[in-house]
């Protein structure tokens, strides 16, 4: 029994372009256009899942996909930093930002830790492991990073070493006992 996940990061938003911690904002014009341009290249799948945020739902729609909302795929809760730029937060709370970037268990913003995100994603991947077929998953860079780290069994402090661009895709497959990352097989190529 093989489970396949095609993880797609949502399209660009104003928060991404301005290096801000996200709110529940819509795609920007480039994000919508980019997703629409890729719609004809989306592979066939047995189902499509999306996080609940507006930007992921809009990405699925622009890709021509009818997505089911999956709460576990929601973005990291950045607490008091939501809507603020990283530059602004760093200027007012440099030690908090340094701790957050260094310690995956830290929550200086009062929201969710990276370890919390990774645990949530690991639990979701465990449930997905027994599901047969291919699923397209529209979610956030943080969730894709967490899924890759879980699949590889990599340490949580590797979180920031993975770059996930808007509308990029990553593939995971499971033989029922473990997940594997398939590199270089994006539908975007």
SS3 45: coil
Q: Count of CB atoms within 10 A of residue 161's CB? A: 9
Prediction pTM value: 0.95
Task: Report the C-alpha gap between 91 and 163 in whole angstroms.
Answer: 24
User: How many beta carbons lie within 10 A of that of residue 43, not counting itself?
Assistant: 11
For 146-179, give the DSSP string: HHHHHHHT--GGGGGG----TT-EEEEEE-SS-E
Across the beta sheet with 47-50, the strand order is: 68-69, 47-50, 133-139, 3-9, 169-174, 179-182
Any idea of the CA torsion for 74, 60, 14, 113, to the nearest 10 degrees?
10
Percent of residues, the chain, with pLDDT higher than 70:
96
Q: Strand 47-50 and strand 133-139: pairing?
A: parallel
Q: Is residue 163 part of a domain?
A: yes
Q: Is 153 left (phi over 0), alpha (psi -120 to 50) or beta?
A: left
Q: Cα(6)–Cα(67) distance, rounded to whole angstroms?
A: 13
Look at residue 155 and tell me if it is in a domain. Answer: yes
Residue 170 is predicted with a pLDDT of 95
Structure confidence at residue 184 (pLDDT): 62
| Structure tokens that stand for 100 in this block | 């957050």
* DSSP conformation class of 43: P
Q: Is residue 58 part of a domain?
A: yes
* Residue recorded with tokens 């943080």: 142
Domain count, the chain: 1
For residue 187, being part of any structural domain is answered with no
Full domain range(s) for residue 135: 3-182
pLDDT 10s digits, 29-80? 999 999 999 999 999 999 999 999 999 999 999 999 999 999 999 999 999 9
| 164 dihedral zone (left: phi>0; alpha: psi -120 to 50; beta) | beta
In a domain? residue 120: yes
Q: Is residue 188 part of a domain?
A: no
CATH for 38? 3.40.50.1240
**For residue 189, is it within any domain?**
no
Please report the pLDDT score of residue 189 as a whole number: 45
- The answer to whether residue 160 is domain-embedded is yes
Q: For the chain, which ranges sit under pLDDT 50?
A: 189
């Amino acid at each position: 029994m093989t489970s396949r996940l095609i993880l797609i990061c949502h399209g660009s938003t104003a928060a991404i372009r301005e290096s801000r911690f996200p709110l529940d904002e819509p795609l920007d014009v480039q994000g919508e256009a980019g997703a629409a341009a890729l719609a004809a290249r989306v592979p066939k799948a047995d189902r499509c899942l999306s996080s609940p945020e507006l930007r992921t739902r809009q990405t699925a729609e622009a890709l021509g996909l009818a997505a089911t909302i999956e709460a576990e795929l929601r973005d990291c809760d950045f607490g008091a930093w939501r809507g603020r730029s990283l530059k602004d937060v760093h200027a007012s709370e440099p030690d908090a930002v340094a701790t957050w970037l260094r310690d995956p268990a830290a929550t200086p913003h009062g929201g969710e830790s990276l370890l919390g995100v990774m645990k949530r994603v690991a639990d979701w991947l465990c449930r997905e492991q027994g599901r047969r077929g291919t699923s397209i998953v529209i979610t956030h860079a943080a969730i894709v990073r967490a899924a890759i780290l879980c699949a590889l069994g990599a340490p949580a402090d590797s979180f920031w070493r993975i770059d996930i661009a808007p509308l990029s895709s990553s593939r995971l497959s499971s033989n029922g006992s473990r997940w594997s990352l398939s590199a270089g097989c994006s539908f975007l190529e």
